[in-house]
Chains A and B, each alone.
Chain A
Amino acid sequence: MREFEAVIGLEIHAELKTSSKMFCACDASFGGAPNSKTCPVCLGLPGVLPVLNRRAVELAARLALALGCRIAPYSIFHRKNYFYPDMPKNYQISQYDLPLGVGGELILETEEGPFRVGITRVHLEEDTGKSVHVSESGRIHGSEYSLEDFNRAGVPLLEIVTEPDIRTPEQARAFMMELKSIMEHLEVSDCKMEEGSLRCDANISLRARDSGEMGVKTEVKNMNSFRALHRALRYEIERQGEILASGGEVVQETRHWDADANATTPLRTKEYAYDYRYFPEPDLVPLELDAAFVEEIRAALPELPAERRGRFMSEYGLPAHDAGLLTSSKAMGDFFEAAVDEGADPKAVSNWMMGELSAYLNARSMEIDAVRVTPGQLAAMIAMVDKGIISGKIAKSVFEEMLETGKDPEDIVAERGITQISDQDELQRLVTEVLEENPASVDDYRRGKEKALGFLVGQVMRKTKGRANPQLVNELLRRGLEE
């Protein structure tokens, strides 16, 4: 495998966060009873005409600018013609050779340093409906009948195409995570891969390392998570590598990632071998964006993840690793800053978020915006630790309960009666008791066995069910032993 390197380009589709569809006034939000969010226009009834959604253009321009693209002063829409029952008109309105944005880039911060991925184009198109094939496989072949839901038909989509600059599955995943974070910061898309509002296809080929030539590529579809993207590309590199190593030839084809089988399988040719017969959409006028419109959008661009990362490092003194993780999604960064605004120490907030909070989210495949704990509650809990009201160890169990129930930390501590014992007289009494009950350990310590101290601390903790202030116990024990 050593002699090959992969050449990977991504094609990403993101549903834009507009309130209405791209060419009609229907509700563009996710969900709803099948076909409840439709009208004659998005159903493609005879005689209807499209009218472009201004908001979709603004959002598309926003992303294109954030990726450093040039905004075309003149772009047009084409019709992409092919028959499929989830497409009401049997053509999709899409930009083609004159897209809205061209020639951008995205710089990834990797462990090997900055890595640049060129952005070929950013364009607008409409989404299709959804087919439900009634058969065992859920695929159209062999299904008895199919049902169509046109709620998504006509929802505005952004297509982002990268240059074939990506070399590894890790870079591909890092690119997607950064792009997702950028789109979240720009508020252009919900970026929910599981709802299909963010999708990614990859073109991948292998070539002799640094040969400069391009090998035969395959297109991999149906990767609906970052993990799927990573695994599918890893699989495909291995598969193509084996073919090439044994002197074979890679077949140019579209392949479907099957997460259950952990493999890519070729799609039947019939499913994708179309001549799309693109031609300019005569029902729409050219999209002409003047400089003032573009500048207005540029001026209103919010802080992007890369800038935010830098600011988290300079303003809050976080290490690069922390800053990277906390800006991997807009919601993470927002949560962090909200907790810091409540007066908590930035590094403490970061530690809790990267430790317990992330573990909790990962274990449940949850997004932070679904978590029950508020930034204010996390800040309050950190304050309780700082003030010595609870120990760090107890704080962990309190935080667990906060995550499960959404209760305030103060209430949990009060209910459980787990306030830390910092009362010197009470602790002194217990320390004296422990010293008397464990003469052997006392002797050990006095003969230079430091370890014995830990045992004695443990004994005090046992008597207080862990509520004793550990620093104070240490101090009192040492004093008692050295007397």
Chain B
Amino acid sequence: MEALHNLKAWEIRDILSRGEVTAVEVLEAVAERVERVEERVNAYITLTLEHARSAAEQADAALRGGKMLGRAAGIPMAVKDVLCTRGIRTTCASRILRDYVPVYDATVLEALRREGLVMVGKANMDEFAMGSSTENSAFGPTRNPWDLERVPGGSSGGSAAAVAAGEAIWSLGSDTGGSIRQPAALCGLVGLKPTYGLVSRFGLVAFASSLDQVGTITRDVRDCAFLLSLIAGHDPRDSTSLKVEAPDYLAALRGEVKGLRIGVPRELMQEGLTAGVRKAVEDTLKVCEELGAEVEEASLPHVDYALSAYYIIAPAEASSNLARFDGVRYGYRDEKGEDMMEMYGRTRAAGFGAEVKRRIMLGTYALSAGYYEAYYGQAQKVRTLIVNDFRAAFERFDVLVSPTSPTPAFYLGEKVEDPLTMYLSDVCTIPVNLAGIPAVSIPCGLEDGLPVGFQIMGKVLDEPTILRFAAALEEALGFREKPDSERGVKP
């Protein structure tokens, strides 16, 4: 049998309920793994093993007493450090929140605690979720368990690396432009960005409010569906939360994919893809056909402008969302300033990293009097065109597919000095956020021993279809690869 720390959540639940293992044993296996590899991977900002142990003990007590086991019980989880956890510091990987301890739990955390959450720790990330490599962290970069010289992707790089390295069984991330799907792709995992509004954003520290969504990183599609069912649903504390009942996503995995109409937007298969990514995606399209799906070229004519629109809208919202970090009420404060304005300036200059400052300045500029229409107004129009493109495409197709990332994991330091190149990492994932639709990335092959992700996009609230398709494809592809112990961490 596979080592405990490498099992899927549903496998652990099976053996827990059969009494073959205890929740504490599972947690200790993961804790031991953390002990062994964390120094090299740096997946976590804060470890919360004591909390995890008491949650695991409660799960065992429930099992012994023959009580119902919470649906998250006994499964060690990593939580991206952008989700507020009551009494546990939540840093957003920023110096400005280095010692910030929230007084409340994010809605998703509340929901998971009710289900017996065993939280191993708060996962590393790009500062305020801004980045694609987890190099923009005030707590040092996270490394890719497949190759420690390479990045795990970002911004949810810690959440992905923790699961890939066996330091957690599954994890929560957030995705504003690809921040779940791209690291999942680069770490050989399943990453889901749900429909905007399906999962509550209350307690998710905002980067770009109209794009942010909490989602999952798991080892297979079944775990993805299961974890989604634990966090999806209406939250009256989030006005943008959709008033819908979440369906049974696990049940939705069963069923035919034969006859499913699959569109491949040509705009997402253009230049910039590495040969290996192109080949892995094309091979996967053949497998889709073998499964009886109808694969055809599709078009999203305005998607070429998605990256430009995104880098107006997201920084504009960020410039406003991050204004509250001013040293007045909480977080880091530079005391040396002569007056209030200087205190603001010094605090923010020292508290934020370079990428965050870059985006605050971009966004402030884009919203300034005289520039608003040319930048923000125009970007919103482009966004509407992209929404319409997807709507039109989904009249012909049930799902759209593309590579998740144009390249596999790149080296640390390779792109960090060149923001525009870094921004291109998200060229395939950003349109999905602009349109508010759901998308899942599953591993579909390797290039030079590094995982390649395949992105499946669906209609608004059509998670059941993309997950059903992802599950069928996952089974057909039979991706069983594990990190190579020469370059990465031993499985």
Task: Please give the residue numbers on chain A whose beta carbons come within 8 Å of chain B beta carbons, in ascending order.
Answer: 40, 43-52, 79, 81, 83, 85, 88-91, 140, 146, 148, 270, 275, 277-279, 282-285
Residues in B neighbouring A50, C-beta threshold 8 A: 239
Are the CB atoms of B324 and A46 closer together than 8 Å?
yes
Complex-state Cα separation, A45 to B97, whole angstroms: 11
Complex-state Cα separation, A79 to B324, whole angstroms: 13
**Closest chain B CB from A26 CB (angstroms):** 14
CB pairs A–B below 8 angstroms (27 shown):
A40-B103, A40-B104, A43-B329, A44-B324, A44-B329, A45-B102, A45-B330, A46-B205, A46-B324, A47-B202, A48-B203, A49-B201, A51-B237, A52-B239, A83-B323, A83-B344, A85-B326, A85-B328, A90-B326, A277-B364, A277-B372, A279-B316, A279-B376, A282-B240, A283-B240, A284-B239, A285-B240
The answer to whether A83 and B102 touch (CB under 8 A), given A51-B239, A275-B368, is no
Are the CB atoms of B340 and A49 closer together than 8 Å?
no
Task: Please give the residue numbers on chain B whose beta carbons come within 8 Å of chain A beta carbons, in ascending order.
Answer: 83-84, 90, 92, 97, 100, 102-104, 106, 201-206, 208-210, 236-240, 316-317, 319-320, 323-326, 328-330, 340-341, 344, 364, 367-369, 372, 376
Complex-state Cα separation, A415 to B237, whole angstroms: 63
Complex-state Cα separation, A284 to B92, whole angstroms: 23
Are the CB atoms of B367 and A279 closer together than 8 Å?
yes
Residues in A neighbouring B84, C-beta threshold 8 A: 45-47
Residues in B neighbouring A282, C-beta threshold 8 A: 208-210, 240, 317
Are the CB atoms of B324 and A88 closer together than 8 Å?
yes
Are the CB atoms of A46 and B239 closer together than 8 Å?
no
Residues in A neighbouring B236, C-beta threshold 8 A: 51
A283 and chain B: residue at smallest CB distance: B209
Are the CB atoms of A88 and B329 closer together than 8 Å?
yes
Complex-state Cα separation, A48 to B209, whole angstroms: 11
Q: Which of A46, A49, A90 has the most CB of B within 10 A?
A: A46
Residues in B neighbouring A278, C-beta threshold 8 A: 367, 372
**Closest chain B CB from A267 CB (angstroms):** 16
Residues in A neighbouring B206, C-beta threshold 8 A: 46-47, 283
The answer to whether A81 and B376 touch (CB under 8 A), given A45-B330, A46-B100, A47-B203, is no
Complex-state Cα separation, A90 to B318, whole angstroms: 13
Are the CB atoms of B323 and A90 closer together than 8 Å?
yes
Complex-state Cα separation, A283 to B239, whole angstroms: 7
Residues in A neighbouring B328, C-beta threshold 8 A: 85, 148
Are the CB atoms of B367 and A49 closer together than 8 Å?
no
**Closest chain A CB from B416 CB (angstroms):** 25
Complex-state Cα separation, A146 to B339, whole angstroms: 11
Complex-state Cα separation, A90 to B317, whole angstroms: 13
Are the CB atoms of A46 and B92 closer together than 8 Å?
yes
Residues in A neighbouring B205, C-beta threshold 8 A: 46-47
Are the CB atoms of A81 and B103 closer together than 8 Å?
no
Complex-state Cα separation, A153 to B274, whole angstroms: 53
Are the CB atoms of A81 and B238 closer together than 8 Å?
no
The answer to whether A79 and B102 touch (CB under 8 A), given A51-B237, A279-B367, is no
Complex-state Cα separation, A106 to B325, whole angstroms: 43
Complex-state Cα separation, A155 to B102, whole angstroms: 23
Complex-state Cα separation, A278 to B369, whole angstroms: 9
A141 and chain B: residue at smallest CB distance: B339
**Closest chain B CB from A269 CB (angstroms):** 13
**Closest chain A CB from B321 CB (angstroms):** 9
**Closest chain B CB from A228 CB (angstroms):** 28
Residues in B neighbouring A44, C-beta threshold 8 A: 324, 329
Residues in A neighbouring B369, C-beta threshold 8 A: 275, 277
Q: Which of B236, B238, B240, B340 has the most CB of A within 10 A?
A: B340
A51 and chain B: residue at smallest CB distance: B239
The answer to whether A89 and B238 touch (CB under 8 A), given A47-B206, A49-B201, is no
Are the CB atoms of B324 and A277 closer together than 8 Å?
no
**Closest chain B CB from A384 CB (angstroms):** 59
Are the CB atoms of B372 and A279 closer together than 8 Å?
yes
Are the CB atoms of A49 and B237 closer together than 8 Å?
yes
Complex-state Cα separation, A48 to B202, whole angstroms: 6
The answer to whether A277 and B368 touch (CB under 8 A), given A47-B84, A52-B239, is yes
Residues in B neighbouring A85, C-beta threshold 8 A: 326, 328, 340
Closest 3 CB pairs of A and B: A90-B323, A277-B367, A282-B209
From the candidates B320, B325, B344, name the one contacting A277 in the complex (CB within 8 A).
B320
Residues in B neighbouring A48, C-beta threshold 8 A: 202-203
From the candidates A47, A51, A148, name the one contacting B106 in the complex (CB within 8 A).
A47
A146 and chain B: residue at smallest CB distance: B340
Complex-state Cα separation, A43 to B103, whole angstroms: 12
Complex-state Cα separation, A46 to B100, whole angstroms: 10
A284 and chain B: residue at smallest CB distance: B239
From the candidates B204, B239, B330, name the one contacting A285 in the complex (CB within 8 A).
B239
Are the CB atoms of B323 and A89 closer together than 8 Å?
yes
Residues in B neighbouring A89, C-beta threshold 8 A: 323-324
Residues in A neighbouring B239, C-beta threshold 8 A: 49-52, 283-285
Complex-state Cα separation, A228 to B139, whole angstroms: 56
B97 and chain A: residue at smallest CB distance: A46
From the candidates B320, B340, B364, B376, name the one contacting A91 in the complex (CB within 8 A).
B320
Complex-state Cα separation, A353 to B250, whole angstroms: 75
A44 and chain B: residue at smallest CB distance: B324
Are the CB atoms of B323 and A91 closer together than 8 Å?
yes
Complex-state Cα separation, A83 to B103, whole angstroms: 24
Are the CB atoms of A81 and B323 closer together than 8 Å?
yes
Are the CB atoms of B326 and A83 closer together than 8 Å?
yes
B103 and chain A: residue at smallest CB distance: A40
B369 and chain A: residue at smallest CB distance: A275
**Closest chain B CB from A102 CB (angstroms):** 22
Complex-state Cα separation, A467 to B262, whole angstroms: 105
Complex-state Cα separation, A279 to B325, whole angstroms: 19
Complex-state Cα separation, A303 to B203, whole angstroms: 45
**Closest chain B CB from A57 CB (angstroms):** 13
Residues in A neighbouring B340, C-beta threshold 8 A: 85, 140, 146
Q: Which of A48, A85, A146, A148 has the most CB of B within 10 A?
A: A48
The answer to whether A49 and B324 touch (CB under 8 A), given A275-B369, A279-B376, is no
Complex-state Cα separation, A146 to B205, whole angstroms: 27
**Closest chain B CB from A105 CB (angstroms):** 31
Known interface pairs A284-B240, A285-B239; 19 further A-B residue pairs with C-beta atoms within 8 A, sorted by A's residue number: A45-B102, A46-B92, A46-B97, A46-B325, A47-B84, A49-B237, A49-B239, A49-B240, A51-B237, A81-B320, A85-B326, A89-B323, A91-B323, A277-B319, A278-B367, A278-B372, A282-B208, A283-B209, A283-B240
Residues in A neighbouring B319, C-beta threshold 8 A: 81, 277
**Closest chain A CB from B11 CB (angstroms):** 33
A50 and chain B: residue at smallest CB distance: B239
A23 and chain B: residue at smallest CB distance: B239
**Closest chain B CB from A137 CB (angstroms):** 15
**Closest chain A CB from B96 CB (angstroms):** 10
Q: Which of B236, B239, B325 has the most CB of A within 10 A?
A: B239
**Closest chain B CB from A178 CB (angstroms):** 36
Residues in A neighbouring B90, C-beta threshold 8 A: 46
A145 and chain B: residue at smallest CB distance: B340
The answer to whether A81 and B240 touch (CB under 8 A), given A46-B84, A46-B92, A282-B210, is no
From the candidates A47, A148, A284, name the one contacting B102 in the complex (CB within 8 A).
A47
A80 and chain B: residue at smallest CB distance: B320
Complex-state Cα separation, A88 to B330, whole angstroms: 10
B316 and chain A: residue at smallest CB distance: A279
Complex-state Cα separation, A343 to B316, whole angstroms: 66
B377 and chain A: residue at smallest CB distance: A279
Complex-state Cα separation, A140 to B344, whole angstroms: 15
**Closest chain B CB from A461 CB (angstroms):** 71
Residues in B neighbouring A277, C-beta threshold 8 A: 319-320, 364, 367-369, 372
Q: Which of A49, A83, A146, A285 has the most CB of B within 10 A?
A: A49
**Closest chain B CB from A82 CB (angstroms):** 9
Complex-state Cα separation, A344 to B206, whole angstroms: 64
Residues in A neighbouring B316, C-beta threshold 8 A: 279
Complex-state Cα separation, A283 to B241, whole angstroms: 10
Complex-state Cα separation, A68 to B341, whole angstroms: 43
Complex-state Cα separation, A140 to B328, whole angstroms: 15
